[in-house]
Structure 1
Amino acid sequence: MNSSLITNIISVLVLAIASYFVFELVNIALSPAISVALGIVIGGIASVLLFNIKSTPSIGDSGQVSELSTLYVGNLPYRANEQAVQEHFEAHGVVNSVRLMKDRRTGKRKGYGFVEMDTKGANNAIKNLNDSEFQERTLKVRLAKDKTEEE
Structure 2
Amino acid sequence: MSFSCFIKLLVAAIVVSVVGSYAIQLVGLDSIHPSSLFASGLTLGTIFGGLLVALYPNKEGASSQESGTRNIYVGNLPFNIGKEEISNLFAPFGKVVDIRLVKDRRSRRFKGYAFVEMETAQALAAINHLNDTDYAGRTLRVNEAKKRDEE
Cα contact 1:73–1:112 (8 A) shared by 2: yes
After superposition, what is the alpha-carbon deviation per residue over 1:75-122, rounded to whole angstroms, capped at 9, x for unaligned? 011011111001100111110111111111111110001000111110
In the other structure, the counterpart of 1:39 is none
In the other structure, the counterpart of 2:54 is 46
Cα contact 1:93–1:124 (8 A) shared by 2: no
In the other structure, the counterpart of 2:25 is none
Tell me the distance in 2 between the aligned counterparts of 1:69 and 1:48.
24
> Segments of 4+ in structure 1 off by > 6 A?
none
After superposition, what is the alpha-carbon deviation per residue over 1:34-82, rounded to whole angstroms, capped at 9, x for unaligned? xxxxxxxx98x7166279431353xxxxxxxxx1110000101101111
In the other structure, the counterpart of 2:118 is 117
Extract unaligned runs of 5+ from structure 2. 1-49
Amino acid of the residue matched to residue 133 of structure 2? S
Change (3 A) 1:129 1:46: same
Name the % identity: 39
In the other structure, the counterpart of 2:14 is none
SS across alignment from 1:49: coil
> C-alpha root-mean-square deviation of aligned residues, in Å?
2.7
Amino acid of the residue matched to residue 122 of structure 2? G
Extract unaligned runs of 5+ from structure 1. 1-41, 58-66
Bigger Rg, structure 1 or 2: 2
Change (3 A) 1:94 1:50: closer
Tell me the distance in 1 between the aligned counterparts of 2:94 and 2:112.
22
Tell me the distance in 2 between the aligned counterparts of 1:87 and 1:76.
14
Q: How many residues were matched structurally?
A: 100
In the other structure, the counterpart of 1:82 is 83
TM-score (normalised: structure 1): 0.58
SS across alignment from 2:113: strand
SS across alignment from 1:86: helix
Tell me the distance in 1 between the aligned counterparts of 2:77 and 2:55.
38
